[in-house]
A and B are shown apart, each in its own frame.
Chain A
Amino acid sequence: MAVGGLALIVVIFLIAGFASLLAPYDPGKTEVSMKLKPPSSAHYLGTDQLGRDVFSRMLYGSRISLSVGFVAVGISIFIGILVGAIAGYYGRWVDSILMRFVDTMLCFPSFFLILTIVALLGPQIINIMIIIGVTSWMGTARFVRAEFLSLKERDYVQAARALGVKDRRIIFRHILPNALAPVFVSATLKVASAILIEAGLSFLGFGVQPPAPSWGNILTEGRTYIFDAWWLTVFPGLAILITVLSFNLLGDGLRDALDPRLRGKR
């Protein structure tokens, strides 16, 4: 299943990369005479309310979903590793303060918090990425900290310390590489949830703004025509489902491979 997930992710990446070659139409080109046409050989997935080709728009939309997913998770992982490493390595009051901050962040309903801040700052794609990133690093911080707490007691770390290696070097060169496996697993699963969050924001009108095509906003624009043009609702939703599913499958597969004790969990 995990291999299937990986294969699907590769395909989705290829689609996003070669969207301009694969798309039969310009995703922004409107043709009012062709509006709301059902799927046909000319328009594989039909046309929307402005006569734009849904298939082409969805190909381009994959870029937005993937980039939101990856950039947001990159930010989140970066903050999580930094906070977790510092808290776990230095311990004592540094640890206490940082962990109380993590507890505090975890108490807020994340989707509502994201929605509020996006509304405050404006729904540009870069804002969305940053905000999803800075509101979702707490889990990573917690388990990076846990890894550090146990790894810093190991002999090789003590040896490095005895040799006078600087803290920063011990943290990033000696301990971190050994603590990264669970980070990869959670990063994969987080990409899935970031894509879902972007879709949810789009649905509420705070996602990537039209006319730029994202799966979320194609779906959202299409809901007005749900009874006349089902394809505007069904296909973008399926694209989100398949992408999120692939990342979830890959993430669980990676976890099983890296930590056999957890096999079959979920």
Chain B
Amino acid sequence: MAKFFLRKLFQLFLTLVGISVLSWVVITQAPGSPIALTMDPKVSPQIIEQMMKNYDLDKPIHQQYYLWLKKLFTGKLYSFKDGRPVLEKINERIWNTLLLNLVATIIVFSLAIPLGVFSAKRQYSFLDNLGTFGAYLGISAPGFWLAYLLILGTVELFGYPVLGMRSFVTEDFTTVEMVMDRIWHLMLPSIILAIGGLAGLSRYTRSSMLEVVRQDYVRTAKAKGLPDDHVYYKHALRNALLPIITIFGFLIPDLIGGSIIMESVFAWPGIGRLSYQAVLARDYPVVMTILSISAVLTLVGNFIADILYGIADPRIRYG
């Protein structure tokens, strides 16, 4: 176990170095990078000066890399757009994104697992086939398109604004109305964000359950007269869901990617929208910090998932 742990830790370190080098190469060495801008006479001297400061472009190349790394992890990178520390800007937005994704995740897990178990219990029934088809639609439809259809539908139906975190005019609202308004604005983007995950996870639960219920111990549990629900939810589901732990680590890149589009559709002031605005404004420090942070988070997430998987499943032995 200790040997495995150390080896994993070493790999983790190597990957971290890889992430930092790659981020730095994309930002400073690729064609069209900010360095190319410093040659452009149309770019204002202030921006060039800020860029020199951010990337130490006057220093030799190995120092440039070292200094960029140091600034990235000590929060000394400043936005091109307003000169504020990048980490401060991210901190303002990230909680809104987490809130949105937390609600979406709750929707996914509370619906997908029962749906998957139900489909597995009635394999090839009409409802199971309907579920399969629905899941295909869910993973095949562009999220922003679904979002627009939903906006079109709800606005026509209820005539109540859906964009942003709350309505514009809220002065004459009571506290209850304020809370309801917030919840309303939270619901639509969460539902759309949840659709892809719901389709994927419910199918995953289904196929995983189908494998598990054919095993001997499930037959034994049934044979000794346990109620169906008990067999499915207590005995089978536990083993069927084990591999899901490993999916958690890969949730983070999806979360950021999905947020960029959804937060733009719903004008949600989160990290995804910040990323998109930074890309539009060519605000490289912000873009690169978000890219690097999410890569590091993914890495750590995968590492934790690996370890947890070993703890949750005693059949896995690290050697």
Contact = CB atoms under 8 A, between A and B. Distances in A.
9 contacts: A109-B255, A112-B290, A116-B291, A117-B26, A203-B142, A226-B151, A226-B152, A227-B152, A241-B140
Given A112-B275, A113-B291, A199 B142 contact: yes
A44 interface: no
Interface string A196-214: 1001100111100000000
Given A109-B253, A110-B257, A204-B260, A120 B142 contact: no
B19 A107 contact: yes
Contacts, number: 144
A265 B243 CA distance: 14
Given A100-B18, A104-B15, A245-B136, A227 B155 contact: yes
A103 interface: yes
A interface, over-half SS: helix
Interface residues of A, number: 45
Interface of B: 11, 14-15, 18-19, 22, 26, 30-33, 135-137, 139-145, 148-149, 151-152, 155-156, 203-204, 207, 210, 252-258, 260-261, 264, 275-276, 279-280, 282, 287, 290-291, 294-296, 298-299, 302
A244 interface: yes
Contact of B299 (A107, A115, A192, A226): A107
A111 B19 contact: no
B interface, over-half SS: helix
B279 A110 contact: no
A160 interface: no
Max count, chain B CB within 10 A of own CB: residue among A121, A227, A266:
A266
Interface stretch (A82-90, A140-148, A172-180, A230-238): A230-238
Contacts of B264: 203-204
Contacts of B282: 119
A122 interface: yes
A266 B142 contact: no
A234 B149 CA distance: 8
A111 B233 CA distance: 36
Max count, chain B CB within 10 A of own CB: residue among A104, A115, A196:
A104
